[in-house]
Chains A and B, each alone.
Chain A
Amino acid sequence: MANPNGIGASVRRREDQRFLTGRGNYTDDFKRPNMTHAVHVRSPYAHARILGIDFADAAAMPGVVAVLTGADMEADKVGSLPCGWQIHSKDGSPMKEPPHYPLARDRVRYVGDAVAVVIAETREQARDAAEMVVVDYEELPAVGSSTRAIDGGAPLVHDDAPDNVCYDWHLGDQAAVDAAFANAAHVAKIDLVNQRLVPNAMEPRAAMGEYDQSSGEYTLTTTSQNPHVTRLLMGAFVLGIPEHKLRVVAPDVGGGFGSKIFHYGEEAVVTWAARKVGRPVKWTADRSESFLTDAHGRDHVSHAELAMDADGNFLALRVSTLANLGAYLSTFAPSIPTYLYATLLAGQYKTPAIYAEVKAVFTNTAPVDAYRGAGRPEACYLIERLVDVAAGVMGMDKTEIRRRNFVPKEAMPYQTPVALQYDTGDFAKNLDIALPLVDYPGFQQRRAESKARGKLRGIGFATYIEACGIAPSNVAGALGARAGLYECAEVRFHPTGSVTVFTGSHSHGQGHETTFAQIVAERFGIPIENVEIVHGDTNKIPFGMGTYGSRSLAVGGSALVKAMDKVERKAKKIAAHMLEAAETDIEVKDGRFTVAGTDKSLGIGDIALQAYVPHNFPLDELEPGLDEQAFYDPKNFTYPNGCHVCEVEIDPDTGVTTIVSFAAVDDFGNVINPLIVEGQVHGGLVQGIGQALYENCVYDEESGQLVTGSYMDYCMPRADDVPSFTVCYHEDQPCTHNPLGVKGCGEAGTIGAAAAVMNAVVDALSDYGVTHMDMPATPEKVWRTIRDAAPAPTPAMAAE
């Protein structure tokens, strides 16, 4: 009988009880005896030389334990925050990798760059004293945007990065692309900006450092998506602490969206300072610090061209992108606009030749790194906007031009011209499911009805594909990753048949404690209540690469399956021994071990008990215990894909865009928990809609000051901004190379939504000759576009 809480069941999230009743354990909730509080002194300038730091008054303030600066760190030989991915430029030279110290030494390079840390008995005392630290700055000219960075004569962010260029990279066959363009019947072109975003996890970053003098062991409790990676990077490169003396714990974490993948300076500061002051040190960001110092996302400026034959078949794609990396290289920053972006530029289309150039630059802004989707939303947005422009050039229906150019299901596995090999996907099927869902044939009538009410209606499609389950170590390594990206799991049966699973992936909202338990419950035919999922502690988990890039299930879940395979093999041996049968005669089903052709059988619980209380095991052949671990390294990425359709209505009087409907048809391979998948899609869609209509991180180009430094100016999407979504998926195209057949669903919504919304907005404005608008489509931008385009009377007047 099927397990009611097994694979495919919409099990309610087991973790929600504690979250919803305020019993989660977040980093800031941890309190230690004698704990101190750290507040950072941060640069108010985007670019300045530090001439001196006078903290005598601050150090004398009530409750102050210590004031520490970059000079103290230098004296203790604290290293630079390392970068985990190396890119080489077209000419073969390695990227520029300037040092990034946890506390700035001689220069500050963005507003919020940490200069000193004040440690005091209370947070308020630390804050009072931090205000008394006098830093003598010599302000320098700043670079507030990527376009300004490469404007000849711009100030240099780093002296050893000429023209502010970190790397100038390319991918694809330029000659083949040029040849295709030379023979093209039609060319569609677009210039677009994929604006910078602030991640805005609900829980701000926090870190607590502890040092045990008796054991010499450090503990860092931190808001991390991957505690083992933080332990490796901070221990080996920054503080010089060997792994066996450094424990990193990532307890409950309130959202990350990528921003908590990276190793941040504050983590090193509190860990180092804990030993220095001999007491635990805790730092928790306030929301203003989150805006200033969390690694931001996106920030591309691109030009793209698509060559087509006379029938609208895509011949070649040419893309040139300027990517802003901010002031320093965050942990995975270099990989985002390259291998997580340009490799996705084929999209769902069989474009035979693609060439992409990416110039990445330093600016006096916060570092930019992975943010939900990380490169793939940028790729999807560029392709899907360009395809809509191409449909306009060809005079073709937007669905037809897509259908004509889809990689057909029969072509799978499909090698793209930009390094990836798609394993499965039926793109036409996604579209076939979506069209009736949104009543596409009825759209023109709805548009006419809107027009009669003085409103402009538009429909937009995004047929997206992403590479998830990051990543196969051999591929990642070949592309410049300085670490493999496998995953680890341990499955420990206890004597009475309950199970603890240790996973190297990390849940910060994804619901691992539910889905991973479902997989175990299904496999062994045990109640889900008997399964506990443990994650986020380097002292408990063998190893882990963490959670990002929609990888938990595809990679971590596969490691779990592999560990369960080992448990089952061991259990089979034990069963054979107990049932006095040959191992080959034991049949296993739903955790029941039966001697073939007999009614002699044992449950996994009986076997687990025997494993721990053996009486007569043949010790040469059979060890006691039922506890196995496995590492899983996938053969390929997974390729979630889908078709998102958005319908908008614009009020031309105010420029306000309202999303009337949104349908998402997704192929995530097999689905473990439909309820959680639906929730992930909803959240992703809202984030994508946020980028399309609301969010925009603005720096002043000249001064480098963050203009949108609070929710007063940085507009987050809210519940009343979005419609009730239509979300569905199919399981016809499971992943072919992982045991669960899963592809991942965490980022898909974000990847498809922005393009679908903007295509709908542009479609709504098509009567005004609009072919493109940069995000976010704010009311004023839309109103101005209409006003500037319109010689015709406004529809509002026409309606009156």
Chain B
Amino acid sequence: MYAFTYQRPTSLADAAAAIQAEEAKLLGGGQTLLPTLKQRLARPTDLIDLGAIPELKGIREADGGLEIGAFTRHAEVAHSDLVKRVIPSLASLAEGIGDRQVRNMGTIGGSIANADPSADYPSAVVALKATVTTDRRSIAGDDFFTGMFETALEPGEIVKSVRFARPDKAAYAKFRNPASRYAIVGVFVAKFGAEVRVAVTGAAGSVFRAEAFETALSADFRAEALNGLSVEADGLNADIHASADYRAHLVTVMAKRAVEAAG
């Protein structure tokens, strides 16, 4: 780890000021950033720890759905009675992130801002019609993820909270990378009245919606409705753990499992 200046602002305004420093980095739960620093793969001048800012914390009901502060740890989401009551599928997704240590440190804001293609939360942001609120504006979940490790956030923009709509039914099914246990494929299926959203993470450079699946499930919300459907393998991620066509296959399998779990 290279030396850096550690800052722990206590207000969003102070954090926003601090992040203006050249080569400064925001620190959420640190589950990606800290290993990166330890490997000396990043060399920030300043690390702005967001952990002492009250505005970034807490889970509350909002517009019938949920608003979750950016600095809410995965374990808090997983164990929140409110989340379990309003959007149980979101609690269950959080409970399945990484391992216990990761869940006790990692935050939802850090996860979505990092936009790891194999992270779990991006699928929920897209499938649950989320709105990401920052210190500057609101960004629709559909527009938030723009590519591999890329988001619509501008330099220095800080995620404040994520607001999720409450679905009638929803579930997340994931196929883990056996080594890292990140999602090789994760599929979040959510049903809002006649509308069904199917958001796929892990399979490609960024989360995407499987539109053919959505159409089929809107007509018939049963796993069988997906028989014969698959996403295009072309353009999907490929590595030593899973080729593109295996990932494409798993998207269908996980989508079916999510539909079954959603009931």
Interface residues in chain A, defined as those with a beta carbon under 8 Å from any beta carbon in chain B: 124, 127-128, 131, 288, 653-654, 694, 698, 707-708, 711-716, 778-780, 783-784, 797, 800
Contact = CB atoms under 8 A, between A and B. Distances in A.
B113 interface: no
B interface majority secondary structure: loop
A715 B224 CA distance: 34
B179 A780 contact: no
A interface majority secondary structure: loop
A800 B224 contact: yes
Nearest to B227: A797
Interface in B13-41: 39-40
B180 A711 contact: yes
Contacts of A797: 227
A715 B1 contact: no
Contact of A780 (B39, B180, B224, B242): B242
Contact of A694 (B39, B175, B178, B246): B178
Interface string B225-236: 001000000000
B253 interface: yes
Contacts of B134: none
A194 B180 CA distance: 23
A713 B253 contact: no
17 contacts: A127-B40, A128-B2, A131-B40, A653-B253, A694-B178, A694-B179, A711-B179, A712-B179, A712-B180, A713-B179, A779-B242, A780-B241, A780-B242, A780-B243, A780-B246, A783-B249, A784-B246
A780 B243 CA distance: 8
A694 B178 CA distance: 7
Contacts of A780: 241-243, 246
B178 A714 contact: no
Contacts of A124: 1
Contacts of B246: 780, 783-784
A716 B253 CA distance: 25
A361 B250 CA distance: 39
A310 B175 CA distance: 47
A784 B245 CA distance: 10
A393 B233 CA distance: 39
B240 interface: yes
A677 to B, nearest CB: 30
Contacts of A783: 246, 249
A128 B1 CA distance: 9
Given A707-B240, A783-B246, A783-B249, A654 B179 contact: no
Q: Which of B39, B239, B243, B250 has the most CB of A within 10 A?
A: B250
Q: Which of B2, B39, B179, B243 has the most CB of A within 10 A?
A: B179
Q: Which of A707, A711, A780, A783 has the most CB of B within 10 A?
A: A780
Q: Ordered nearest first, which 3 A-B pairs have the shortest CB separation? A: A715-B179, A712-B180, A780-B246
B179 A714 contact: yes
A128 B2 CA distance: 8
Nearest to A655: B246
Contact of A713 (B1, B39, B241, B249): B241
A569 B179 CA distance: 57
Interface string B160-195: 000000000000000100111000000000000000
Given A124-B1, A780-B246, A784-B246, A654 B240 contact: no
A344 B224 CA distance: 52
A332 B241 CA distance: 33
Contacts of B243: 780
Given A694-B178, A712-B180, A715-B178, 9 more contacts: A124-B1, A128-B2, A131-B40, A654-B253, A711-B179, A712-B179, A778-B178, A783-B246, A783-B249
B180 A713 contact: yes
A43 to B, nearest CB: 17
B240 A698 contact: yes
A124 B38 CA distance: 11
A131 B43 CA distance: 14
Nearest to B39: A288
Contacts of A708: 179, 240
A368 B175 CA distance: 33
Contacts of B175: 654, 779
Given A654-B175, A654-B250, A778 B1 contact: no
B176 to A, nearest CB: 10
Contact of B240 (A131, A694, A713): A713
Nearest to B182: A712
Contacts of B180: 711-713
Nearest to A695: B179
Contacts of B2: 128
